[in-house]
Amino acid sequence: MAEDTVKQGIVGTLAKEGLMVSPYCLDLIIERKVDVAELAKDAKKAGVWMITDEFLRGFIKLDTELSKAAKELAGVEQAEKAVEVVSTRKILAKEVESRLVIDDATDVTDKSTCDGTIENFVEYFNQRYRTIRDILRERPECRTAMTVEAAKKHPGEKLRVICMVTEKRESKKGYRFLEVEDPTGSLTGLITKEKEEVVRLYTRLLADEVICLEGTFRDNLFLVDSITQPDIPYNSQPRKADEEVYAAFLSDVHVGSYLFMEREFYRFIEWLNGKGPETEIAGKVKYVLIAGDLVDGIGVYPSQEKELTIPDIYKQYDFFAKLLEDIPSYIEIVLGMGNHDAVRGAEPQPRLDREIGGALYDLPNVHVVGNPVYLSMHGVRTLMYHGTSLDTIIGNLSDCSYGAPEKAMMQYLIRRNLVPSYGGDKKSGDMIAPESKDYLAIKEVPDIFHCGHVHTNGYATYKGVKIINSGTWQAKTKYQEQLGHQPTPCRVPVINLQNHEVSIQYFKND
């Protein structure tokens, strides 16, 4: 806590002079006991707005010693020895032509049609129902499913209906009741405690998801015998690259926060430039995908300003662009959006406005996209989504946790939707923008499914789909500490697109 207070004091002093500081230099200022008032005076004379390593080195006038300390902090003290190796080694990714294709049709940017009216929401949920209904009808057992209105005309007959969950409730005697509806009407499903498998599925249902029920109408109740979720079919032949190229997956960088682990991020950049361990893999990285929360943002949560080293949203993105400049230009970088980015909170989210993130748009190898989005890397179809609704899934399903986000991500594929429940800031749901097109439905089965948001790494294969949650570059926050949540920062999953094998690169000393 004392260190936090010291950091906040330094940031506040510099901010009064219109200056900002990166987390890496903030640590060096404390370590070197730099006179902050004198530093601010020199920075204003020089006309800079950001205290960088280069400026700080010049101010302290201990260039050689500080440079050595900086390299040790960044874990690249052997950089000079690596230069000769880098100059002679073959960099495969540099010689390979980019085959990045971003599916613009899956990105809501410049296509938003919603006004947030009740009519928009009615049409959106009707559309969600139709989309998942059509997916369910691809199953042989669901092809004969009736509408609710039609089913009510066949009491006593075993039949199926495709419907949307509106409510779950349980009686004192252990009976489960399921309220569902479709565009033609509503019904109440009854699940008796003897049907153990149906009870198990019932407990895992979320509001607003679309399912198929099998059962019989009796005395105005639908006696449920089975529940079918849309799920994905087994992806027996995922698409693979025809040459050995790699993709690196990141998320939740949180530039602007004093908890942004800048020195470790520099280690990652140095690694991409061929310095450090496993340089053979680094030389094959052709794509870097970052799934949102590029910066920490402004006003995202109460008292956030106390945890910022860059309390200006424009300059947060400027500094992030400055970091990305050092990534080799032959690497394609795709930047998605998250709940901390300067876009609307409701999903789907359009990409960052050029007026705010202009410095990112100036980098020729950077592609800014909305959330979610489908893209293809060397023919490998990838779905990238930040994962804000993971909080709802983890909060409502007992076998899902922040420590194993890959299990929660499987639930998206089972439900064929990225935001299964609507409800704004309620525990039971998330914010949805009711677009005329459903950008949140998982209509196509991807080869790779990439999320972030929960600040914890997780990896799995589900029915042939490679699931990756790429963790974070932010140290543990006070809120996470209160929850007992253990983030896993500075771990980068890297996938060989030719065989889909995943390796983990670590950029934190411990």
Residue 375 dihedral angles phi and psi, to the nearest 5°: -150, 165
Three-state DSSP at 20 gives strand
pLDDT of residue 61: 65
Give pLDDT, residue 18: 81
Q: Round to whole Å and give the CA distance between 359 and 337.
A: 16
Q: Please list the ranges in the chain whose pLDDT falls under 70.
A: 1-3, 61-89, 424-429, 510
Query: Looking at residue 78, what is its pLDDT?
Result: 44
The pLDDT of residue 34 is: 84
HEC states along 216-229? Answer: EEECCEEEEEEEEC
Tell me the whole-structure pTM to 2 decimals: 0.88
At 510 the pLDDT is 61
Are 264 and 490 spatial neighbours (Cβ–Cβ below 8 Å)?
yes
Q: What is the pLDDT of residues 30-55, one digit of tens each?
A: 888 888 888 888 888 777 777 877 77
- Least Cα distance to 295 among 280, 286, 307 occurs for 307
- The terminus-to-terminus CA distance of the chain in angstroms comes to 22
